[in-house]
Amino acid sequence: MSLLIKNIRLLLLIIQVCLLFIFSSCSSNTQQYNEFAFNGSTMGTTYHITIVADSINVEQRSRIATSVDSLLRVFNKRVSTYDDQSEISHFNQNLTIEPVGVSNELLHIVKMGQDFCNATSGAFDITVMPLVNFFGFGYEIGENRFPTVEEIDDWLQLTGCDKLLLGDSTITKTDPRISIDLSALAKGDASDHVAVFLKEMGFENLFVEIGGEIMTHGFNKYGRAWKIGIDRPNYGGAPGADLQHIIELSGLAVASSGDYRNYREIEGKRISHTIDPRSGSPIAHNLAAVTIVAESCMIADAIATSVMVLGPEDGLTWLKNYSGAEGLLIFREPDGTYREIMTDGFRGYLAD
């Protein structure tokens, strides 16, 4: 009998040792690969790039850093309204209704803007620049008062999808005072460009973030999809300080729009940098943040702003009808708490 007990004890011990071995071999699965970081600033914000690769030598690292930096400089020289010597600024300064010759790259991003303008019946509108400037979110300092009804009426003559005529290599204003703001597309487009550039260099595992707009490919240093935190939209909150969710992406982009980081106060009222071009006023609803996942970061960026302008109900309906994008909408409740709605597909990206 005691021999039997001894044997059972021995068997249990062997099972325990085997289980321990299985667990320890599981934990060694979290193998770390080498990651290489490239950080800098562009478009008045920062960028963070991570490449996971076997090795990148010092010389290659400096070549990547220089190339990315120059790619972003060239990109900025086309689309930045904050650089008065950029291609878009020259176009804005050109007070004529003659066709203006533009680069293919500028034409492409303006065409995307026009497509989103048409798709959202004018909620997304790159001709919103004069209003953005008035409210102090553009390259001008901005006023400390709300515009008069007459001023808004005047601007509404200068905004709209039909105010720009696109040719094969030209853009024509229908009124000389029209000007273009590409801020709602530019960071996403730049993230796409950097990711394509690095893929062409032969890197498969990438994370590219420019001012919060992110493109991912392959895996992170743990051999898993890239983990990305989505901020809770607390006014003035630091990025990453308080997360609403963590999502996991590979081969996809994510972009967000919100009312909580870029805002001003006019006459004691908090106003958002997102303008509803249909009313000529900053958005005023309880949708605090929109996060969009799509295959292209420029598209995710444009959709996030579109849903933000369309607002809680129309924005959600529009998003559900848009094929190829998933989203999370976070609402600010009167008691200071947050409520969220996400599309079914978005749920699949959650890591938490």
In 51-206, where does DSSP find H-type helix? 58-79, 87-93, 104-119, 129-134, 149-156, 183-200
Residue 168 burial class via C-beta count within 10 angstroms: exposed 0-12, middle 13-18, buried 19 and up: exposed
Tokens representing 253 are: 């982009």
Q: Which range in 90-98, 270-278, 293-301, 340-348 contacts Mg ion by CB under 5 A?
A: 293-301
The residue among 153 and 352 lying less far from ligand ADP, judged by its C-beta, is 153
Q: Does 231 bind Mg ion (CB under 5 A)?
A: no
Q: Which range in 58-66, 79-87, 104-112, 301-309 contacts Mg ion by CB under 5 A?
A: 301-309
Positions touching ligand ADP (CB under 6 A) are 124-126, 128, 132, 137, 181, 183-184, 187, 257, 262, 273-275, 277, 301, 304-305, 308-309
Count of residues of this chain found to bind Mg ion when the rule CB under 5 A is applied? 1
Pick from 192, 209, 276, 301: which binds Mg ion (CB under 5 A)? 301
- Report the candidate in 345, 318, 341, 316 with the shortest Cα–Cα distance to residue 330: 341
What separation in angstroms does the CA of 249 have from each of 207, 224, 295, 322, 348?
Answer: 10, 9, 10, 20, 10
125 binds, among ligand ADP, Mg ion, none (CB under 5 to 8 A by kind): ligand ADP
CB 288, min distance to ligand ADP, A: 12
CB 137, min distance to ligand ADP, A: 5
Over its C-alpha atoms, the chain yields an Rg (Å, rounded) of 25
CB 159, min distance to ligand ADP, A: 9
CB 181, min distance to ligand ADP, A: 5
Residues engaged in binding Mg ion (CB under 5 A): 301
